[in-house]
Amino acid sequence: MDSDTEETRSQMKATKAEPSTPSKKHKKRKKVVEEPDPEVQATIRIIPGNPERIPPLVGYFPSGFDPTRNQGPGSTKAGVFRHKERGGTRLQVVVTPSKESKVDFVGTSYAGEAQAGEACAYGLGILDKATQTLKIVPIAGNKIFRLEPKVQGLDLAGKEPASSAIGELSAVEKAAKRIDLHNRYGTKKSIRQNKKMQTLKQQDDPDAQNDLDAIKQVMMEREDSEASEAHIDRNTPPFNASATTPRDAYPLDKIIATGEWKFLQDIYKLSEGGTEISRDSFPAFVCNRVHKLQLIEDEDKKNKLSCIFSYITHLIKFKDLHSMDGYTSAKGHRFPPIIKDKFSTMFDAVSKRLSTEKNNLLISYVLVLTLFADEFQTSMTDIGKDLRMTNATIRTHYETLGCKVSKKNDVSTVTLPVPLKFPTARLKRRNK
């Protein structure tokens, strides 16, 4: 130990303070002067840190508990515990005042001062009067323990304070936390600059680049769709009147853009995880048909149908969000940003309510997708409840799309004959 130390000599001199002469006004007051310690000559030994030896552990009691007061010799016990699963880096100090005490004082190396940045170095000095030696040893910041009182018998396992997890955050989590705090409390200028930096960083991220490519693809397809005005006059989704199959009559890729499919995976993930979807969160039409996904062996077909279910859900929730009678059921619904942005543009959702024309257009999109979901032979019952419309009104909407409604055994069935034949307006004759 002497070879690793640096020795210097220092003399500490103390002189006796002369008592001041009290004034006449305060003659009766007696001033007590404590006698200082006699002159001490000590050898200062600065012991450097040794990675093979654990540095001293220092604990303090913020509650004001004094382990030396009113305690017999040896009554206070202290123990140090090391976490094996954490590679031995996490320590815990437990101080028990006495056998009769029901309170332990517990401190950990991952809370308290360990969380704060180590802005200065700590040292511990021990003066041994017998050998006239003052030893100074360094102390690591995470070896200063804040000993908090804990009642014995309470099950505290696995209930570490939320702040203790800070030392265990990954680099990605720390970066996300810094960005969140910056967006909350930073200036507007710095927030804009930070967002630009994040955008530049995302250009090197393959996943983020894929998302950007998908968004660009959606925007291009949206522009192409808007350029085709054939369906605007009829207030319907894009259609092909000369199609020879029902599937081609309303092209699905003109309704759901290529880049949007990856944002419609919620029902597929719930189905794969075996989670039952809630009727409070999804339309009755979807809940009554989600079992079909378990019967489909082809993963591509299963994923496609689940995405159609998701798109129907978002359309219905968007309609409810902009109506008086359905707002409550839709206010907590989570829309993918790219989907909500598309709906807001397509249906002109500039106010709390949709215009009659745009509301009918939204309903047409829903009804066309119900045909795809049911292989172009569906019923009107459950979708009528989801849209809050009567069977007569729903029937009129289906017929406007070129569908045929037939009734057998009190059950109405909707089909889509091709080529499409739209109803023509009939003029009433005036009686002469």
How far from each other are the two terminal CA atoms of the chain, in whole angstroms? 124
Identify the weakest region by mean pLDDT among 63-67, 138-142, 397-401. 138-142
pLDDT greater than 50 at residue 14: no
pLDDT, tens only, 44-95: 888 776 666 667 788 888 877 877 776 666 677 888 887 766 556 678 888 8
The rounded distance, in Å, linking the Cα atoms of 51 and 49 is 6
Determine the average pLDDT of the residues in 252-266.
92
Determine what percent of the chain is predicted with pLDDT higher than 70.
67
Q: Where are the beta strands (DSSP E) in 144-254?
A: 144-146, 148-151
- Looking at residue 139, what is its pLDDT? 77
The rounded distance, in Å, linking the Cα atoms of 345 and 327 is 19
The rounded distance, in Å, linking the Cα atoms of 401 and 392 is 15
Decide which of 101 and 331 is more confident.
331
| Mean confidence (pLDDT) of the chain | 76
129, 72 contact by CB (below 8 A): no
The rounded distance, in Å, linking the Cα atoms of 372 and 51 is 69
The rounded distance, in Å, linking the Cα atoms of 193 and 425 is 58
pLDDT greater than 60 at residue 160: no
- Looking at residue 7, what is its pLDDT? 43
pLDDT greater than 60 at residue 168: no
- Looking at residue 206, what is its pLDDT? 56
Identify the weakest region by mean pLDDT among 159-168, 275-284, 384-393, 408-417. 159-168
Q: In DSSP terms, which residues pair with 91 in a beta bridge? A: 82
Determine what percent of the chain is predicted with pLDDT higher than 90.
28
pLDDT, tens only, 357-395: 999 999 999 999 999 999 999 999 899 999 999 989 999
With residue 78 as reference, give the H or E element that holds it.
strand 77-82
